[in-house]
Amino acid sequence: MQVQAPKGQYRVIGLDPIDTLTWPSGPLWKDCETLEEAREFADRNGELYLWIYVYDDRGELLYEAGGCNQREA
């Protein structure tokens, strides 16, 4: 799974250890134009996934959400 977002964007990836990879749609995956948009999207989906990560266009982790976890990287 490629975590690096397209240039100038932010990639949100949501995972659940039990179901995500077997779901027909696969893991949560969205590219956002701004970090704020990516964080809001991650927070809105935090109850559906145990882990949600936001990465930049260099593949660096910027934010974590999901389940009970939420922190700035």
- Show the domain range for 58: 10-72
Looking at the domain assignment, is residue 4 inside a domain? Answer: no
pLDDT reading at 17 higher than 70 = no
In a domain, 32, yes or no: yes
Average pLDDT, the chain: 84
So what's the pLDDT on residue 15? 83
**What total of structural domains would you count in the chain?**
1
Which pLDDT score is estimated for 58?
97
At 34, the pLDDT band (50, 70, 90 cuts) reads very high
- pTM over cut 0.85: no
> Distance (Å, rounded) from C-alpha 12 to C-alpha 29?
6
CA 68/CA 56 separation, integer angstroms: 23
CA dist 5 → 20, 32, 40, 62, 67 (Å):
20, 9, 17, 12, 23
